[in-house]
Structure 1
Amino acid sequence: MIAGTDSAAIPVVDPEPVLDDLVRVHLAGLLRYATVLTGDGHTAADLVQEVLLRAHVRWTRISLMQRPDLYLRRMVTNEHLSWRRRWHVRTIRPATDETLAAHAEAHGDHAHGVVEEDAMWRHLEALPPRQRTVLVLRYYEGLSDAEISEVLGTSPATVRSHASRALATLRDTDLSTPPEQR
């Protein structure tokens, strides 16, 4: 309450978003996004945890942004690409059958979905990291080119270029042959 006013005074409200609230709303999406990027749920959880620790330290500045959630996604992307550079070669492994079955639809034969997801992982694995990231942001996260460019720190034209090249590569690829056998 503001001092020197009556009991009907307007309470002081903190206008900046709280990190805890943002995490409550967007944690599942950040974990999903990181899992698609890394191909492993445990690695994704580590990556998101590292990003949230860094975001906590910088929260005063991040909270002033119009879309702090997109900035967190950008931090996840940068951390993922940074890990790839640090570890030089990192493979994306398809999830175990149990993990895929847990996410499959309750009715019908889940084998078809597992085969398709496995093929998708293998073909995404063959793409360069930036192209793969653009496809994941566009088709899994449903972001627009402008939002993707904000996450990656590039222009929308660069995003479209990465997407075009990635899709051309996937079109030219014999999708029935695993990448390691080509």
Structure 2
Amino acid sequence: MPQIGLEGQQRIASAVVAVVGDDLGCEVVARVLAAAGVGRLRLVRRTGPLPADVAAAIAASNPDVRVETCAWPVGDAWLAAVLGATIVVRSGFDDDSMLRGAVRLALPVVVMRGREDRIDVVSFRRHGPCAHAPLDVPEKTGAAPEDGPGTVVAAHIAAAEALALVAGAATGEGRARHVSIPIPGAAAWPERSTDIPWSPECFA
């Protein structure tokens, strides 16, 4: 992988990736990252450990990967959940304290959602560190991801973006990127990939 190089591969091997969510997308992300050589996965889940078949597939693809499972946090507990991670990958666009915790720690975040008609991936590439990022934000639930082909594609895009960021091989100028792709045969919305304004160095 010439774009990544030896140093990039070493960064991937030493990375700690927090994978946040319980759906098919998170299972796919975990499998892709393990197969790519990520050294440690921290799974933040409501439902406990991964299904046995998924855990077995991860171990088979990368016997050296360390997998840990964390309970789902609330409020300022998100800070502890992502502390020590290299990057966060999350499924679903729910509003809670996770992103603000990542801003405090200057952690990149990749958020994905696959649905029947559309794939969305947003990459918050650079922000913080900011000790003033508020963690007491009201929680709001967005439209849930839907298990299916769209979610699998979204997960592969999110995993590729996470690996590029960890390896230092990401391209483009933006601090944040939004990729939105319609599913063939669904509503005829245009495909787009855009920079979005996101530069919260400090919330003070």
> Is the strand fraction higher in 1 or 2?
2
Alignment TM-score > 0.5, same fold: no
Greater Rg by CA = 1
The structure that is helix-richer by fraction is 1
TM-score between both structures, scaled by the size of structure 2: 0.27
TM-score by length of 1: 0.29
